Amino acid sequence: MIAEYWRGGLASALFLMGAPLTNARIALRARDTNHAREMISRHFARFIERCRVRVSLEGHFPEPGQGCILSHNETSFIDVAAYCMSMWPYAERAAAADLYKYIPGGRAACRKLAIELVPRGNRDGTDRLLDRMVEAVRRGERVVWGGEGRISGVDGVARFKVGASLIAIRAKAPVIPVVMHGGHHVMPLGSFRARPGEVRIRFCEPVSPEGYTEADARGFADHLQGISARTYQELAEKRPAKA
């Protein structure tokens, strides 16, 4: 157990200390968005490897030009890291919590990565961001928008916010629930203990917003949450007794 705390603490410290330098390299040296994403993926992959975690992907991957919204859950930072090292082949644009702007160089790096920061507490700013995401989806881009809007810290799927639902309804485009399982068991939120294990990422079948209006966004979000929760439970039932 002591070794697991040491491993997780060291991996976390090295990740945090390296983040400003990685951001600076992305901002100053990245030739384009793909190059920037290769750089950030390597930084997250080193963290995952130090924690002795495997990442596997499965399911229905959206093709380029298939305008859609990828709506995912997050139980721990391990989930965030696993997604950030593997999501890029399936998305052109993403949204992230604005707390990343507080990491030195974070805002400039996000611009290179085509990540837009959600301005919490700023309704007008969030509405403008939603409009930009709708236009991107209409152009055929695959957009990442977190379902829960935060790291939940629970062994399951927390309540979905309505952001992804509004984008889908306005753009008349499908939502692909992306369900992650394993992060809570490998390194729960608030702990530095890194147990060897696996994070499984499943891309579910597209869910159409047909029949929903903006007034029904809450109901559509609940529907997506239900799909994600059932998929999470399915993945949990297949999890080895010892990861």
pLDDT tens digits, residue range 91-137? 999 999 888 778 899 999 999 999 999 988 888 999 999 999 999 99
pLDDT at 239 over 80: no
pLDDT at 35 over 60: yes
Q: Is the dihedral of CA 149, 153, 154, 156 positive or negative?
A: positive
- What is the number of alpha carbons within 13 Å of residue 41 lying toward its C-beta? 15
Q: Over the stretch 46-69, which tens digit does the pLDDT of each residue have?
A: 999 999 999 999 999 999 999 999
pLDDT at 242 over 70: no
pLDDT score recorded for residue 1: 84
CA distances from 148 to 21, 71, 126, 154, 214 (A): 29, 9, 15, 11, 18
Q: 35-39, 75-79, 98-102, 192-196: which range is least confident on average?
A: 98-102
Q: Over the stretch 184-238, which tens digit does the pLDDT of each residue have?
A: 999 999 999 999 999 999 999 999 999 999 999 999 999 999 999 999 999 999 8
Nearest partner of 199 among 211, 208, 190, 187, judged by Cα? 187
Taking the C-alpha atoms of residue 140 and residue 165, their distance in angstroms, rounded to an integer, is 17
pLDDT band at residue 243 under the 50/70/90 scheme: very low
- What is the number of alpha carbons within 13 Å of residue 163 lying toward its C-beta? 31
Pairing of strands 175-181, 197-203: antiparallel
pLDDT score recorded for residue 5: 94
